[in-house]
Amino acid sequence: MKKYCFGVDVGGTTIKLGLFTVEGELLEKWEIPTRTENHSEAVLPDVAEAVLGKMKEKGIEKEEVTGVGFGVPGPVTAEGVIAMNANLGWRNKHVAKELEELTGLPCKGGNDVKTAGLGELWKGGAGGYKDAVFITLGTGVAAAIIVDGKVILGTRARKERSKSFNAFSCVDYPERAVIRDGRLIRYLAPRAYAYGAEPTFYDRLEDRVLLLTLIPGMGADALGLLKDSYQAVILQSFGVGGLPGGGSGPLAQAVEEWLSAGKTIVVMTQVPYEGSDMSVYQVGQQVKERFQLMEAYNMTLEAAATKLMWVLGQTSDPARIRELFYRPVQSDVIR
């Protein structure tokens, strides 16, 4: 029977450890120094030694331990991989896997502030609430934003940082997947970003990209009048995607004229969650099949517009446009 679990907070100076019951009761806490020499190569062995030593001291068998949870500064994937940690000198380090191998126990982890925020929601000052903001004041200032019991990891927390230069983003929470209405909806695929690769710089953007927000009963005059002034249009539809009037109305005719003139059209939704899916309803499916329209899926409006400007700055070939638009950049689109 699983009775115990361990919590580990890896800091730049000390590593804090706790022995808990699986119900969240703290039984004992202690600290060990963080040895950062040689890219902190001793940190995980030290953690494993501390955990296993405490188990031996208390007479706890591995079969009684649910696992080890850890928090570390910086971005951590759902698989426990740290892409880069300046404090510890780690790059693409598989912390969960290495700690599992050292302890023989299941290990899961995440960003230290966000895991601490979840801890406060479970057993701390935010107990009993579903929504909370957790702020830490240390060497730096950081925050965890929790909505409906889930930590926002950045893609929907547009104001979690005061500045952001990442135009490519996804509207969904970075959960692995959810089942909704009998369909498996996949979100972010956890992965470690490879740092150190030679960057590629682009100096051409096609700025003749139009955004047109559709409303029920809207006519097609605007599309016709603007066709000669723009190379592409993003149609921000209502619902999960489609055109008022379906595949045979005035808007559909205007779309056909745009495409015949060699223009590019992308459909996205006005709904800020889940993204577009024109195949859900017949009216959207007809339009998509008739015109082979591209969808923004779960890209944000900023991501779709910026990416389309970049793509059209590189090529005018329709097949190449489609290929580049659907190529993920910073997990901006998950089809």
Region(s) of the chain under CATH 3.40.50.40: 165-335
Second CATH level (architecture) for the domain 4-111: 2-Layer Sandwich (3.30)
Would you state the pLDDT for residue 335? 52
Please identify, in words, the CATH class of the domain defined by 165-335: alpha beta
Q: What are 70-114's pLDDT values in tens digits?
A: 999 878 887 888 877 777 888 889 999 999 999 999 999 988 988
Would you state the pLDDT for residue 270? 80
Contact 95, 82 (CB under 8 A): yes
Which residues of the chain carry a pLDDT beneath 50?
Answer: 155-176, 188, 190-195
Phi, psi of 127 (to 5 degrees): -55, 135
Would you state the pLDDT for residue 308? 93
Q: How many residues would you count in the chain?
A: 335
Q: Check residue 197 and report its DSSP letter.
A: P
Would you state the pLDDT for residue 155? 39
Would you state the pLDDT for residue 273? 62
The one-letter code for the residue type at 301 is L
The one-letter code for the residue type at 171 is V
The one-letter code for the residue type at 86 is A
Would you state the pLDDT for residue 174? 47
Q: What are 109-141's pLDDT values in tens digits?
A: 988 988 999 899 899 988 888 888 888 876 667
Q: Cα–chain-centroid distance for residue 109?
A: 16
Tokens of 299: 């890209």
Region(s) of the chain under CATH 3.30.420.40: 4-111
Would you state the pLDDT for residue 153? 62
